[in-house]
Amino acid sequence: MKINPQTVRNSAFKRDILGGLTAFPKHLPSKYIYDKKGDKLFQEIMAMPEYYLTGCEFSIISNNTETIGELFRDRENGLDLIELGAGDGKKTKLLLKYMADNKFNFVYKPIDISENAIEMLTENLAAEMPTLSVDAEVGEYFEVLERLKSFDKRKKVIMVLGSNIGNIRHPNAIDFLSKLKDALRPEDLLFMGFDQKKDPQIVLDAYNDKTGITAAFNKNILKRINRELDANFDIDKFKHWESYNPETGTAKSFLVAIEAMEVLISGLDLKIHFDQWETIHVEISQKYDDKTVAWLAQESGLEIITSLFDDKEYYKNYIFKKA
């Protein structure tokens, strides 16, 4: 019997919401912020002047397109370019255009948890680069890791941009990187973005804009629970709060209940009590330095080939191979 992926995702959503809101302290996976509305809000976040990450990585790729592309190239057999968390593909399109213009033999495989993001990216690429070979997929990182091993007929390059690695804690990051390493052959590459430690105020401003876009983005997870699980969260009774620990490089986003309340989630047959000022942890955004990235690589069985950075060194893209 064929299993419907949408049914599996719906079941995982229910399980994760139930587990997170009955835990102490309460938490929700940030991946569930991304629906059609969440995707739109994240586009707005990336356009904010405070949110330096997108601009820094865009400048790295635009200033080093040929260098990166030629590292990726395999003139004999071609390659598979696999991107985890592809999003809108704005930065990747720089590489795709270079590779297409220079007659690379390759297939681009974007993977994202957001079905909306994948549909939009596929449509845009078909319009902008109609000759490009695209094999898109909706899925989570950990879902697809095992399947990546099947791409073993020619060189593959796995890309993880946007410092998406920062959304998981170090032990999980090592697990994730180890699984990526297991999917790599000696000639394969991993190209990954890591946001760097910097002035703590710059980090705080990036996740706590005065216009309230980030607050609306994080609160979108409550709106999604209301809609998909028939809940009655009063969104206005939750305050977005950001913290940053410069010692560990950990930025955390919380939703804070401004008064005591009961929330009914009919789709889970569940009633949740919130004390005043009780929190829901919704997002982590880890920041790094070279020592930390080198440690993660060593623990994961990876070797750093090189790194590229923007002019302020706010952000770095590292290229790894299997050690």
Q: What is the pLDDT of residues 216-241, one digit of tens each?
A: 999 999 999 999 999 999 999 999 99
Instruction: Enumerate residues 6+ apart whose C-beta is below 8 A from 299.
Output: 174, 177, 178
Q: Where in the chain is the domain with CATH 3.40.50.150?
A: 64-196+288-322
pLDDT at 2: 45
Q: Which tokens go with 84?
A: 């985890």
Residue ranges of the chain with per-residue pLDDT less than 50? 1-3
Q: What is the pLDDT of residue 5?
A: 56
- Residue in the structure block whose two tokens are 């080093």: 64
**What are the pLDDT digits (tens) for 28-38?**
999 999 999 99
Residues 6+ apart with CB under 8 A from 204: 242, 244, 251
Q: What's the pLDDT at 114?
A: 85
The amino acid at residue 61 is I
Judged by DSSP in three states, 134 sits in strand
Q: Which segments of the chain are extended strands (E)?
A: 26-27, 79-84, 106-112, 137-138, 155-160, 189-195, 238-245, 250-257, 261-265, 270-274, 279-286, 302-309, 315-322
Q: Which residue has the tokens 């709060």?
A: 241
The model's pLDDT over 237-264, given as tens digits with 9 standing for 90+, comes to: 999 999 999 999 999 999 999 999 999 9
Q: For 64-196+288-322, which CATH class?
A: alpha beta
The distance from CA 243 to its chain's CA centroid, rounded to whole angstroms, is: 20
